Structure 1
Amino acid sequence: MDNETAIDIFAALAQRTRLDAFKLLVRHEPEGLAAGELARHLEVPHNTLSAHLSVLSRAGLVVSQRQSRSIIYRASLDRMQETLAFLARDCCDGRPELCAPLLSPLQSEDCPEPEDPS
């Protein structure tokens, strides 16, 4: 990943609805959510959500797949991992042991309980 790609990713996430949509999709991995369900959870109009999902898709943060009459959106966990690795690559001037406190919350036993979506 280069700086320009990282900037595009951060720009895509630098808006409340898009960030909320991405976080919600991460919580619903690996099944994903239908576009209508995503709009309902986020309480945004379908056309507004469509524009936001397009931005996230161009940044590689979400993928979509048609299932019957619905479009199912999923978070691209590979892209998220690639972005986190990009941020940590030069961590602590080549001394990765100093970055352990940054990475430990990402380990499954340390992950916080999911928020109640209702």
Structure 2
Amino acid sequence: MEYNSLIKTLDENGGKELILVWENGLKIVGKPDTLYESDNVLEDDDANYTEYYAVAFRVIEVLTQPTHNESSIYDWISTGKSSLVEISLYKEPPNEIYLADGQELWELDSDESQ
């Protein structure tokens, strides 16, 4: 299994402070923490079973809240249970990633999103 462009970008910028932006207005700043393999918790013989790479992203600050409350990522952050959130193309991928200085590193390609 090969890294997709989102995972490559997060991996290559692992030590840097990044800004992740979602279509719903959510904007967070933080740092990639851990890259790992995950799956959608179905049995591996299920036709809908999917394996994918993900990155645990350590949230430092929420810059803007989502404009509508349909964000499992924001819901998780706002519980205060953990500052780590899972970032992947599989579920609720960000639309853009920037360096803290505003330089764009990555943009969601509709052909790549799952």
Q: TM > 0.5 between the two?
A: no
Larger Rg: 1
Q: The TM-score by the shorter chain falls in which range?
A: under 0.3
TM-score by length of 1: 0.23
The structure where strand makes up a greater share of residues is 2
